[in-house]
Structure 1
């Protein structure tokens, strides 16, 4: 509860007292912070900036949560995405001696036996881990990623608090569209995977195997003998980051060839492999000394299901043919529109959006604005879209923007079209047809064999009176809370009236009377009146603060 109180104080000190009040956390605040500022006094961008500042000051778990929220433009408005993308948490690196102790504990030998060289000064340091340069006994240059000590306990406690806060927020009508419990659950699973370096190593190894025959691409090799849940060892790649190339700070490179390789690299991930590097900012893309494109940091990996790949292939082919209505229809079917939503109106708006952006020359097209416009439509209609679809969209926007900056003449759509056509053709191959028949046959067989039995069980329950169903009252808890508050105030008012009447009677009594300014008054009655005055002021302030006179 101390951590919850700290979070409540931090939010209130940044002018988010109304938010603390809506989350029913005011009991954790000191009295002078309990009068909330009205939400209407803040502009949306100010509110977003304050929220980002609070998350940044609350430590690594909340910073990671804010960064995860910045990947969900389908749920949060653009001003929140911009502010959350900026937050970062600067933490001091832990000592090399601590790193060496962890390595000895995890790998079973002192660092001097494990490595020919080990750099005491970390190459990079983050909220979860830090990275050291090292050299294996055979002379291979590597990087060693070491997890920060005791960070898993900190994250576990903070995730429990986030789960509690999300449950509180989900009871408030204004916060329901944000689906915070779902987001916190998604974050908890993601941060758990990020803490497990074996999972990151597995993804890195999988990427390395997928591109080992492509001499244009280089993925670091994982050294499994030097890898555990807390330690990850990979081959060190040397070169210049794509950010330096984009800023014209690197030596002369073939920008056109790099642009095509980077685009091909990601199109293959989206349409062929079915999994993709989910954090493709220019700092994670390297141009090696041999002119290859290298990928770094596989802590965030997305997945593209076979069905989603087919839908994307249809979109690519339809865009090439100018069939914008088909594209809009496929996009509207990728997500789920709530029952009260208008699917036809959604498709019409998507068609208009596609018409507006498809008429702009590619070199003039702002991919970020286009993607944000689509996400605004998704959010307005409260569509529930797969998290990996949004992550893929962000990755595609980032890569398309970078390659267009590298080579404005590169036709991204022309590069994507063969991938889409190949994927659609593959659906008609004998192997693909066989897989579809096998899957369909299994489900149809299960329906035929299990269907009659399930119907019989249902009828038996109905006949015996064992059939049950659940009714969920929307907003019922909020009504109960308000009724409870009203009852408490009524009780206090009755007690207050009784104290005042009793005190007035005691004032004229001779019990404990003293002379005060020429008046004989009862000290007990005077004390009762003063207590009633304080209680009455507290009651009035509470009612005024709730803005329900």
Structure 2
């Protein structure tokens, strides 16, 4: 694996951490030139040897800093790619990292806004409320008297992250080249991670997400979204309304206040399905640290860096899949999976069908109060990995969000039942399917698409006919083996060649016999007789070959 020497120092640090936690074999496989040989391949300590693979990976990400912490957090959402043991460890990754100087934070604020902290805020708490991998959080009060939260991005974080992303892309390419049979598209994962992380580096993106969520819940009494102060928000600075409440993770204090934890969990479920079904836009990280409980019957989301988007077509397919599961219609499920290109061409469909039937029947008659949505989805993703089914990122993100939501609800109420999620899904399913406005819109879209196809059809036909007229139509067949066709062409060529030789010999011999000088030279007569004899042999061979081909056909 070749390296970019501008990142040489970072490569050495990564190699050192990998060796420390017993991943030296990766260094050997990748053959990182100019780095590995300078770091001794020591054995890890006994403490590290006793760690699980998931814990080792988590520790590696923690030591390598912000980029890898974020990578671990995003990978912890990909239950379709990794085993649950690793997922559980990566889910423990938190953004609590070393603080940076508040003076530096104030300098960044001035550079971004052209205003000093004292010009914007009546009061600014110099002690950070939290230090995250991307930025640092402060409490402040605006000149207008509103309490706000101020997020300021870490210095030079963009350069560090871009350097790490470059290294990850090189590593993904090298690993894929070393192992062609690897089932995971590492390059695609890193590309998706890069997109997510670059967005998080721009606080304007988070601000826009928050504004969208505020619009979604503007009339809700159950969910409150803090206001964003756009006049003080830039790529590296975000100022938002401060939420007064209790973090959802502090379940003991919530119970002490006498608030209904079961109802709070139900609000979380209802809010998710409202986001998904009504807007196709949802909060993709509803863990307890990102939600505040503001009263007995209301919650507030506070972080909008990770969002999920699901289009109407994918949502419609999801609805049809749910209905097919209820009907135990395995063939319909497989058809829907093919429709979204989730099944590869080399998948054993019969084996897939058999295993899917068993999976559905295993869970079908289990009472909802005994079911864990997380357990079902994790089993489903293991099933997908086994059969090389690649789910669209939209559905994978939604599944992870539901798993996180169920875990959050169970923290609030250990007796939380999956029936609550099931009931909300059914409710929104029928609202979505039977909504007259939706039916009208779907019919309108179908008519418009049909009309568009009818309009474009004559033009397409003209193009095809023009290409045929110019003899520009080509049939391109790649990687198709046709041994029977090759054999047939070979046989025809052989028979044609023999026939031509036979005809030439007969015509030549006949011309010699008809020659007036045949009686004057004995050798001319011998040549004519030899020609006829060879023609006789070739004729016999042609007959044998013809009869043999007819026999093969039978």
C-alpha spacing 1:303/1:383, structure 2 compared with 1 (3 Å): same
Deviations 1:471-502 (A, max 9, x none): 9xxxxxxxxxxxxxxxxxxxxxxxxxxxxxxx
C-alpha spacing 1:266/1:89, structure 2 compared with 1 (3 Å): closer
Matching residue of 1:348: 354
Conservation of the 8 A alpha-carbon contact between 2:20 and 2:42: no
C-alpha spacing 1:272/1:120, structure 2 compared with 1 (3 Å): same
Q: 1:246: how far off?
A: 6.8
Alpha-carbon separation, structure 2, partners of 1:206 and 1:191:
20
Give structure 2 stretches of 5+ with no counterpart.
Answer: 480-554
C-alpha spacing 1:453/1:403, structure 2 compared with 1 (3 Å): same
C-alpha spacing 1:411/1:66, structure 2 compared with 1 (3 Å): closer
Conservation of the 8 A alpha-carbon contact between 1:304 and 1:388: yes
**Which residues of 2 match residues 335-374 of structure 1 at below 5 A?**
336-374=342-380
SS in 2 for 1:176: coil
Conservation of the 8 A alpha-carbon contact between 1:123 and 1:133: yes
1:184 and 2:190 equivalent?
Answer: yes
Q: 1:152: how far off?
A: 0.4
Matching residue of 1:131: 137
Deviations 1:310-361 (A, max 9, x none): 1222344455666676556545654511111023432432332232223222
Q: 1:208: how far off?
A: 0.2
C-alpha spacing 1:253/1:89, structure 2 compared with 1 (3 Å): closer
Alpha-carbon separation, structure 2, partners of 1:27 and 1:283:
42
1:390 and 2:399 equivalent?
Answer: no
Matching residue of 1:12: 19
Q: 1:182: how far off?
A: 0.3
Q: 1:128: how far off?
A: 0.5
Matching residue of 1:432: 442
The equivalent position to 2:99 in structure 1, one of 93, 100, 115, is: 93
**Which residues of 2 match residues 319-330 of structure 1 at below 5 A?**
326=332, 330=336
**Which residues of 2 match residues 518-529 of structure 1 at below 5 A?**
none
Give structure 1 stretches of 5+ with no counterpart.
Answer: 472-549
Matching residue of 2:208: 202
Deviations 1:514-549 (A, max 9, x none): xxxxxxxxxxxxxxxxxxxxxxxxxxxxxxxxxxxx
User: Which 10-residue stretch deviates more, 380-389 or 179-188?
Assistant: 380-389
Alpha-carbon separation, structure 1, partners of 2:264 and 2:441:
35
**Which residues of 2 match residues 168-317 of structure 1 at below 5 A?**
168-173=174-179, 176-245=182-251, 250-289=256-295, 291-317=297-323
Conservation of the 8 A alpha-carbon contact between 2:201 and 2:236: yes
Matching residue of 2:529: none
The equivalent position to 2:66 in structure 1, one of 51, 60, 69, is: 60
C-alpha spacing 1:10/1:256, structure 2 compared with 1 (3 Å): closer
**Count of aligned pairs:** 464
Conservation of the 8 A alpha-carbon contact between 1:195 and 1:230: yes
What is the CA RMSD across the aligned residues, in angstroms? 3.1
C-alpha spacing 1:325/1:271, structure 2 compared with 1 (3 Å): farther
C-alpha spacing 1:284/1:449, structure 2 compared with 1 (3 Å): same
C-alpha spacing 1:157/1:408, structure 2 compared with 1 (3 Å): closer
Conservation of the 8 A alpha-carbon contact between 2:266 and 2:420: no
TM-score after normalising by structure 2: 0.76
Alpha-carbon separation, structure 2, partners of 1:108 and 1:362:
57
Deviations 1:123-153 (A, max 9, x none): 1111101111111222111111111111001
Higher-Rg member (1/2)? 2
C-alpha spacing 1:350/1:335, structure 2 compared with 1 (3 Å): farther
Alpha-carbon separation, structure 1, partners of 2:236 and 2:464:
48
TM-score after normalising by structure 1: 0.77
